[in-house]
Amino acid sequence: MTAETNALMDAAADANAGEPAIPTDLPLRNDLIGEEPYGAPQLDVPVCLNVNENPYAPKADVVESIAQRIREAARSVNRYPDREHEALRQAFCDYLKAESDARLQPAQVWGANGSNEIMLQLFMAFGGPGRTALAPAPTYSMYPEYARDTFTAWQTVPRNDDFTVNVVDTIQAMHELQPAMVVLTSPNNPTGTPLPIEDLKQILEASQSATVAGAQPGTHPIVVVDEAYIEFRDPGTPSATTLVNDYHNLAVSRTMSKAFAFAGSRVGYVAADKGIIDCMRIVRMPYHLSAITQAAALAAFDHTDEQLAEVNHLRQTREQTAQWLTTQTYKGKALQVMPSQSNFILFGGHLAERELIFEQMLERGVLIRVVGPEGWLRVCMGTDEEMAQFRAALTASLRAAEQMTGYTA
């Protein structure tokens, strides 16, 4: 049991006191017995830097626009919403053209309740019994859960030591394992590592001759690129969405939760060939995207510049924080800091007592994340005031952990 799990259980103990565990006479699927729900701890602490949110709330005029759009939508909530969310799909296209110079049509984009639902729909459409999904690891910890929930086999190939994708090994695994899906991330969670567009092209080209186990002859795997954090990339870095018109088996997942400061509204979307979109439409739930959600998203797109106003500042915060972390030590060794093009940083490398450091940070009112390979911690970028508290808490926590483990310089 991790420190995060302990902290979450302690925080919920009073509310759940006396509640029984899942009754043993319920026919829970055998493969789900003993599983825990996914989720980062949600604790009432002064500084939460664990779930990669944009820490800057929407401005007053944005809030008013959202409220106005929702008021208008509320007049007809007795009717089902636009099942195909045509206006929102056009807004996605307009945004991708301005943000990434991706020139797409509404039939090539599709929205859902967060990019989590986008990914689940992709697994539902292209995974399933007898199918395999392949990904370079470490990567986002929800992917194997999507696979589990859709009875899709989950296979990984190790990344390089610097957490970049090993393109040769990934292509080899694609040909050997014959997956239906190759899942890539750029930037990668939890490492922040980008996927160079040329590396992606190599994998896409190789996928054209790869086969899919158990599928019809002539079937090739789809390549899914998760770009949840792409707006935080260095300026000038191309997006995978610019390749959608060139590769009919490419799907690029996006979200409004992160850079767009819209996590509470749960809006994600995907850019792909119409054929992939139509496959997803087969498995989507009827009227899956509510009229209220669509209205809120359209209002946010009305204020795109304001919603993204702090992205450049968060990039600067990331670079300043990374530089500062390299000056910190634990047990006489400098902390390692992975280069990141996201709004979070993976740091440490040799923190054998990372859960102890996490607990010490929590005692000082700062919540970060125990995630990724052993020895590493992850922090997302907060406001200037929050990052000052993070720096003070980490310095004190590192020294406290040294003392508690008997280390002397």
pLDDT tops 70 at residue 8: no
Please tell me the distance from the alpha carbon of residue 249 to that of residue 207, in angstroms, as a whole number. Answer: 9
Looking at the chain, the domain(s) classified CATH 3.90.1150.10 span: 3-56+310-404
pLDDT tops 60 at residue 113: yes
The reported pLDDT for the residue numbered 59 is 94
Work out the burial of residue 352: count CB atoms within 10 Å of its CB; fewer than 13 is exposed, 13-18 middle, 19 or more buried.
middle
**Average pLDDT, integer, range 75-83:** 95
Work out the burial of residue 367: count CB atoms within 10 Å of its CB; fewer than 13 is exposed, 13-18 middle, 19 or more buried.
buried
Q: With respect to CATH, is domain 60-307 assigned 3.50.50.60?
A: no
Determine the 3-state secondary structure of 213 from DSSP.
Answer: coil
Q: What is the pLDDT of residues 288-315, one digit of tens each?
A: 999 999 999 999 999 999 999 999 999 9
Instruction: Work out whether the CA dihedral 213, 136, 227, 154 comes out positive or negative.
Output: positive
pLDDT tier at 389, thresholds 50, 70, 90: very high
What is the model's pTM? Answer: 0.92
The reported pLDDT for the residue numbered 132 is 98
CA distances from 168 to 165, 175, 221 (A): 9, 11, 17
The reported pLDDT for the residue numbered 22 is 79
pLDDT tops 50 at residue 382: yes
Please tell me the distance from the alpha carbon of residue 160 to that of residue 137, in angstroms, as a whole number. Answer: 9
Please tell me the distance from the alpha carbon of residue 372 to that of residue 370, in angstroms, as a whole number. Answer: 7
Looking at the chain, the domain(s) classified CATH 3.40.640.10 span: 60-307
Q: With respect to CATH, is domain 3-56+310-404 assigned 3.90.1150.10?
A: yes
pLDDT tops 50 at residue 14: no
